[in-house]
Structure 1
């Protein structure tokens, strides 16, 4: 079993255990046709790991904070933001709502599917983008093991000092 398969199994186990503990069912996984339709609308392919999460685990509702957005909602958010005054970068898909206007987004053009944090609260588009994780896999591992800054019960505790690293590619992608 390769690293991606192991990660998908770990996510699936966490999701199953969480769903049982909360007595709720998650949305069903998506078929390849639904993913292909979303990619056609977006104009870019989903990173393979993100597509596997949607096709093998479920259509959102699991993961950090409120969980991954349902794919249709993520696509709609991308379309709306691309036409907004925020000059949304091409290929950057919102995938999780962190509240207060902040979103975790996956960079569909990055080889590692880096995860970006969009925080419009500073009020300046150039300051709104930072790198949350160098890869989607790393972002998921941080959620699974509790070391990510967004984990309520982070094992880092008081030592967690979020140093945001600005996303240097923002200007070239708008």
Structure 2
């Protein structure tokens, strides 16, 4: 799916009333300031035009301030500032957006406008080989699962 198709597909989900309202421009700017990198354009659009998180797999990705939370995690900037990886194995540009459970996280590379997706599992971090649009397409079609994430791990 193209970025526009992903946005439209998630707008349809939002119309069911199951998503929180979009983020304010101030909340998006605050997250970018706290993280130190601009949001990838598709993620910025989704937060601003569709919903402040809550879309994606299962209960959905984290939002920015006052958006969708996941468990004890309030928003991507707060989680980023708390330092998700005390071992230092997660590069500073990778932002946690979804907790699959069992120490498995999906992360977005904020250095790349396409939002390349990464996986962190038990301290190991690797590129999933898809961008945010492809990752979200996988969540919409049901082809993205925790098993497919773990299958993307390179072998040593």
TM-score w.r.t. the length of structure 1 is 0.73
1:101–1:119 Cα contact (<8 Å) kept = yes
Matches within 5 A, 1:109-148: 109-120=111-122, 125=123, 128-148=124-144
In structure 2, how many angstroms separate the alpha carbons of the residues matched to 1:45 and 1:137?
17
* 1:95/1:106 contact within 8 Å kept: yes
CA contact (8 A) 1:130 1:165 kept: yes
Instruction: Write 1 or 2 for the structure with the bigger share of helix.
Output: 1
Name which of 90, 93, 106 aligns with 1:91: 93
Kept after mapping to 1: 8 A contact 2:2/2:133: no
Instruction: Describe how 1:55-70 pairs up with structure 2 within 5 A.
Output: 55-70=48-63
Structure 2 Cα separation of the partners of residues 77 and 83 of structure 1 = 10
Are 2:54 and 2:61, in contact at CA under 8 Å, matched by a contact in 1?
yes
Q: Please, which runs of 5 or more residues in structure 1 have no aligned partner?
A: 20-24, 152-159, 167-174
Deviation at 1:138, TM superposition (A): 0.5
Q: With a CA cutoff of 8 Å and minimum separation of 6, indicate the structure with the bigger relative contact order.
A: 2
Matched, 1:52 2:45: yes
- Could you list the structure 1 runs, at least 4 aligned residues long, displaced by more than 4 angstroms after superposition: none
TM-score of the pair, normalised by structure 2: 0.80
| Residues in 2 aligned to 1:98 and 1:162: alpha-carbon distance in whole angstroms | 11
SS of residue paired to 2:106: strand
Deviations 1:80-100 (A, max 9, x none): 126723443111111111112
Query: Is the CA contact (8 Å cut-off) linking 2:47 and 2:53 kept in structure 1?
Result: yes
The answer on whether the counterparts of 1:46 and 1:108 sit within 8 Å (CA) in structure 2 is yes
